[in-house]
Amino acid sequence: MSKKNKRHIKKVSKMLQNFISLEPIIQTFSDIHFRALVLFPSVKVLPRGRISIVSMTIAEQLFSYHFPSYLTSYFNKWNNKYQFYVQFEILSIMSTPSLQKELHVQQFLEQFNLSNKKQTQIKQIIIEAISEEIKSQLIQPQFKIIQKDGSIKKINKLQTQDLTQIKVIYFYENIQYKSLFKRR
């Protein structure tokens, strides 16, 4: 096995370990029972030449768990761990009961100790995920931002270079979004 393959396997292993070690998504505790539901109860990696095929089982109860937001097809797939982290963060924010949602951009980015190029890619993923929520009419296309210097602005479009100066993004859930999903 070459050094490059060993590094790749180690990298994939670390990424999968991060997925497996996520906190339980549902946890109940009482005098008579404890229950925790993990997002990925099973992960399998099958090497196929120069690539590896990853098979991850998602907890069945997740699909029947009633999130206050709706999962669009965009959130059913991801290409790398950063896209997964961003999507999971956006879903977590969208699952809050308040109509005003807030993303602490700098706090979220600080968890990754990465080069500027990788940070820019993550910022693009953030914008892509928020744009998907707008396209699905789940949030309004206006934002209130708090910049690092404490100033507050209202903007209609997020851009990658803006995220460098933004501390918090506030966006607003559409009140009537549930009517978009009613069966006819």
**138 is in which domain, residue-wise?**
68-175
pTM: 0.60
Reading the block at residue 140, the tokens are: 């309004």
Mark whether 94 and 51 lie in a shared domain: no
Mark whether 49 and 135 lie in a shared domain: no
State pLDDT tens for residues 122-179: 999 999 999 999 998 889 999 999 999 999 999 999 988 888 899 999 999 887 544 5
Mark whether 95 and 171 lie in a shared domain: yes
**Read out DSSP for 24-65?**
PSEEEE-SS-EEEE-S-SEEEEEEETTEEEEEEE--HHHHHS
Mark whether 110 and 165 lie in a shared domain: yes
Mark whether 25 and 115 lie in a shared domain: no
pLDDT at position 39? 64
Mark whether 93 and 31 lie in a shared domain: no
pLDDT at position 63? 53
Q: Are 123 and 163 in contact (CB under 8 A)?
A: yes
Mark whether 77 and 32 lie in a shared domain: no
> CA 184, CA 170: separation in Å to the nearest integer?
33
Mark whether 28 and 74 lie in a shared domain: no
Mark whether 92 and 152 lie in a shared domain: yes
pLDDT at position 22? 64
Mark whether 93 and 40 lie in a shared domain: no
pLDDT at position 152? 95
Mark whether 79 and 114 lie in a shared domain: yes
pLDDT at position 44? 76
Average pLDDT, whole number, for the chain? Answer: 78
CB atoms within 10 A of CB 123: 21
Mark whether 32 and 115 lie in a shared domain: no
Structural domains in the chain (count): 2
